[in-house]
Chains A and B, each alone.
Chain A
Amino acid sequence: MTQSVVVQVGQCGNQVGCRFWDLALREHAAVNKKGIYDEALSSFFRNVDTRSGGDGHDISKGKICSLKARALLIDMEEGVVNEILQGPLRDVFDSKQLITDVSGSGNNWAVGHKLYGCQYRENIVEKLRKTAEHCDCLQCFFVIHSMGGGTGSGLGTFVLNLLEDEFPEVYRFVTSVYPSSEDDVIISPYNSVLAMKELNEHADCVLPIENESLFDIVNKIHQMVNSGKLGSIVKQNSLVTSSAGSTKAVQEKSFDAMNNIIANLLLNLTSSARFEGSLNMDLNEISMNLVPFPRLHYLVSSLTPLYTLADVNVPSRRLDQMFSDAFSRDHQLIQADPKHSLYLACALLVRGNVQVSDLRRNIERLKPSMHFVSWNQEGWKTGLCSVPPVGHSHSLLALANNTCVKPTFMELKDRFMRLYKKKAHLHHYLHIDGMEQSCFSEAISSLSDLIEEYNELDATKGGPRIDPSRLKIAV
């Protein structure tokens, strides 16, 4: 079994990360009844004996003593991390996994990347090494951050660079929260585009997420819960609630519901690597199958079901509905419509009691309405994991490498250009050591190239019009 390390950077990154660890513990608690530290747990947690004071040694087998998350929490202001350390998850992290500062990055990518990057480089590398040493087979780093701010965006992408330098063999999956157009940070386009360049060059896979989509999904769920539709009751455990027995009596913060969705995304992504199933799908397989060209590694994700109806009438119709939903506009985690754009590749990760025939039936059903690139007409990667997520009997995560990310990027570019043409706010960046005008021009050209690649695919539908002629053999 392989291990993964989560690196959460910035306010958004840490808040999402916090939800992730909460859900991960809940999931493992539901599966692992005997309290034995097993392989599945070891992929995200260490088992530490804290009685001997200080940093106990790892216990690789036997009963669970104290679980420590394989995580690194980085934030340049203390508020969020402190809150985590005072909350119910405080024992899951130890002080050696934290890197904090006081003043924050002021929503400035340059401050995060250049200033704090330099300052904390040694510290970060050392802590990463330590975490990696605790793993006997480290496969993947998950970086969680936002693109619009300063720390998550700047320092987060700096860490990404570091990961590539120090651990070139380990996969880098980045979950990036993109700013919406009504974002209250004016210079978020600058931060995002500067960060995009880093993502283009140093990430293996990026899962872009937009707050707007999460917000819509959360609203939809609340509508369902509150509407009390005739004949259907929504079960307690939907994608956004923590669980029936939550210790928080207070109304959960508004972002918690949205962050839960991202946390579920990460859990489902790694489920096949942690639990058994009839068709395993490891993380390296995701990267292998979904990234046909090195730079086109942006995956649009969608999760279903969002909530479980207690109405158990027609199980197989519910299953089929789940597959249909995964491709609908409303369920995507960015503002995009993959069905009407070009698919380069698609992966379906199914959890729960679903058989290969159900999977195949649904693929056959949905295929005709989707446009695949000419050289990948049957570009489906599938995985079946037998363990369903908490509160559901089955679930589906769809990852699509699809040209529908283009509008998101184009909009980002437009917002950037509107500011850049006027040279608005540039001085905040340029007076940071190491930051020059060329950083901006390189970043925007990197983004433009990416958009161009997607354009080309759309225009040619990905291939020569006629089938390339086969090799001829002299008989």
Chain B
Amino acid sequence: MEPKVISQALSIAARSGYWKYDDRSHFCQKQGSGNNWANGYSVHGPKHKDIIMNLVQKEAEKCDRLSGFFTIMSMAGGTGSGLGAFVTQCLKDAFPASFILNHVIWPYGTGEVIVQNYNSVLTLSHLYHSSDALLVHENDVIHKICAQLMNIKQISFRDVNQVIAHQLGSVFQPIYTAEGALHYSRSPLGDLMETLVPHPEFKMLGLRNIPQMPESSLAYSSFSWPGLIKHLRQMLIANATMEEGIDWQVRPPRPGSSIPSKHSTSKLLHFNTSIANLVILRGKDMHSADLGSFQDPALYTSWLTPQDAFNLWKTPRAFNKYEKSAALVSNSQFLLKPLDNLVGKAWNMFASKAYIHQYTKFGIEEEDFLDSFTTLEQVISSYTTL
């Protein structure tokens, strides 16, 4: 809702010489949303609905087979979060047969925006109703990757966004989704949903990538599939955010003791239970990679067999100068702790009624907040009892 960033984005793209945004495919206003979710959702949303949906319609008509929408937004501000939630709802209404995947940026734990927890709670609860899945990137995690893996001294948002783009690319670049497939997947969004979101209550997807290193180090490194896969699996089980500092002590529960008993050690509690996992391998000799360890039923909940819960996509084509790379998109308890923290902080603030007048000013009342909290507590409860 304000012009500076879009004009910058348009000019940077145009300068690359390879691609650019369509001149008419953007829409902005002047005032921004003031970090106010209510402003984005209740004021800007309805006001600009027609123009925005017209632009979407034009783009949709250019496709001969539209599989879905990929929205990119943050949760901490006012426009990305509020208007983003509104637009997602409109997309669902206007295109009921299309998939909607929301790429959501989880804000830094410590202050980018003071009311970020409110904005995030409202966004997540609304998205849960209209979106098919939420693919989450946490700023703190990416920041750590930049600092520790990429060795960047003075991290800028450009660096952070670069890592995020790399991770997204490793998922969405052309890939074979079926064994012995002759052509690349025609509907990556649909395939993603099919593999990862078996139940509408569980929509939170996390993304992990290996290896991740500065470009200058690539020439000196060699990779092996067994090594990469082993690390990736442990990252999944131990809820690690990157390939350094993984807790190798965490093990999946023994078969036959799928319900953690009272005597279970704390290691079991740290164990990350998955609903569904998707591993994407890019690089030569990927046929030799053995993914058996990912099909261990101990990793998953009891209501899906590993054959259904685990999927593998691959391509021999290397991605972004990494000779071999593996990505993991996981519907698991990855985001349980961040979500719990977020809701806790927001609730704490809500209890003292701080900043509420800023939201009621634009039509979001306390009841709306309570509804959002309820929705999210439900999600937390569902993920906790996996």
Please, could you name 16 A-B residue pairs with CB atoms under 8 Å apart, sorted by A?
A39-B3, A278-B156, A280-B4, A280-B5, A284-B32, A285-B78, A293-B353, A356-B157, A375-B351, A378-B109, A380-B110, A381-B113, A468-B351, A471-B347, A471-B370, A471-B377
B32, B109, B113, B348: the one within 8 Å of A467 (CB): B348
Q: How large is the interface on A (under 10, 10 to 19, 20 to 34, 35 or more residues)?
A: 35 or more
In the bound complex, what is the Cα–Cα distance between A467 and B110 (angstroms)? 19
Tell me, yes or no, whether B143 is within 8 Å of chain A by CB. Answer: yes
In the bound complex, what is the Cα–Cα distance between A379 and B385 (angstroms)? 32
Evaluate whether A288 and B111 lie within 8 angstroms (CB atoms) in the complex, with A293-B357, A464-B351 already known. no
Contact A379–B3 (Cβ < 8 Å): no
Tell me, yes or no, whether A185 is within 8 Å of chain B by CB. Answer: no
CB-based nearest A residue for B33 = A284
With contacts A276-B4, A294-B357, A380-B112 known, what are 20 further pairs, Cβ within 8 A?
Answer: A139-B30, A278-B156, A280-B4, A284-B32, A287-B34, A288-B34, A288-B115, A355-B155, A357-B143, A360-B108, A360-B143, A364-B110, A367-B110, A378-B111, A381-B113, A462-B352, A467-B344, A470-B344, A472-B377, A473-B378
Contact A285–B32 (Cβ < 8 Å): yes
In the bound complex, what is the Cα–Cα distance between A364 and B147 (angstroms)? 15
A279, A285, A358, A463: the one within 8 Å of B157 (CB): A279
Tell me, yes or no, whether B381 is within 8 Å of chain A by CB. Answer: yes
Smallest CB–CB gap between B344 and chain A, Å? 7
CB-based nearest A residue for B111 = A380
B35: chain A residues at CB < 8 Å are 284-285, 288-289, 381
B296: chain A residues at CB < 8 Å are none
A244: chain B residues at CB < 8 Å are none
Contact A375–B352 (Cβ < 8 Å): yes
Tell me, yes or no, whether A292 is within 8 Å of chain B by CB. Answer: yes
Smallest CB–CB gap between A60 and chain B, Å? 14
In the bound complex, what is the Cα–Cα distance between A315 and B39 (angstroms)? 40
Per-residue A-contact encoding for B1-22, CB less than 8 Å = 1, 0 else: 0111100100000000000000
Tell me, yes or no, whether A322 is within 8 Å of chain B by CB. Answer: no
Tell me, yes or no, whether A25 is within 8 Å of chain B by CB. Answer: no
Contact B31–A282 (Cβ < 8 Å): yes
B30: chain A residues at CB < 8 Å are 1-2, 136-137, 139
In the bound complex, what is the Cα–Cα distance between A381 and B347 (angstroms)? 19
Tell me, yes or no, whether A89 is within 8 Å of chain B by CB. Answer: no
Per-residue B-contact encoding for A130-172, CB less than 8 Å = 1, 0 else: 0000001101000000000000000000000000000000000
Within 111-150 of B, Cβ neighbours of A (below 8 Å) are at 111-115, 143, 146-147
A1, A276, A288: the one within 8 Å of B358 (CB): A288
Tell me, yes or no, whether B24 is within 8 Å of chain A by CB. Answer: no
B155: chain A residues at CB < 8 Å are 355-357
Tell me, yes or no, whether A374 is within 8 Å of chain B by CB. Answer: yes
Contact B32–A463 (Cβ < 8 Å): no
Tell me, yes or no, whether A258 is within 8 Å of chain B by CB. Answer: no
In the bound complex, what is the Cα–Cα distance between A278 and B157 (angstroms)? 7
- Tell me how many residue pairs across A and B have CB atoms closer than 8 Å: 141
Tell me, yes or no, whether A224 is within 8 Å of chain B by CB. Answer: no
Per-residue B-contact encoding for A348-390, CB less than 8 Å = 1, 0 else: 0000000111101001100100000011111111100000000
Contact B158–A137 (Cβ < 8 Å): no
Per-residue B-contact encoding for A253-291, CB less than 8 Å = 1, 0 else: 000000000000000000000001011101011011111
Tell me, yes or no, whether A23 is within 8 Å of chain B by CB. Answer: no
Contact A470–B343 (Cβ < 8 Å): yes
In the bound complex, what is the Cα–Cα distance between A418 and B354 (angstroms)? 35
CB-based nearest B residue for A379 = B114
In the bound complex, what is the Cα–Cα distance between A60 and B385 (angstroms)? 61
Tell me, yes or no, whether A250 is within 8 Å of chain B by CB. Answer: no
Tell me, yes or no, whether B288 is within 8 Å of chain A by CB. Answer: no
Contact A282–B112 (Cβ < 8 Å): no
Evaluate whether A357 and B114 lie within 8 angstroms (CB atoms) in the complex, with A137-B30, A293-B354 already known. no
Per-residue A-contact encoding for B320-355, CB less than 8 Å = 1, 0 else: 000000000000000000000001110111011111
Evaluate whether A282 and B354 lie within 8 angstroms (CB atoms) in the complex, with A356-B160, A357-B156 already known. no
B34, B143, B158, B348: the one within 8 Å of A374 (CB): B348
Most buried by B among A290, A293, A357: A357
B2: chain A residues at CB < 8 Å are 1, 280, 282
B152, B154, B158, B348: the one within 8 Å of A375 (CB): B348
Contact B348–A363 (Cβ < 8 Å): no
Contact A282–B34 (Cβ < 8 Å): yes
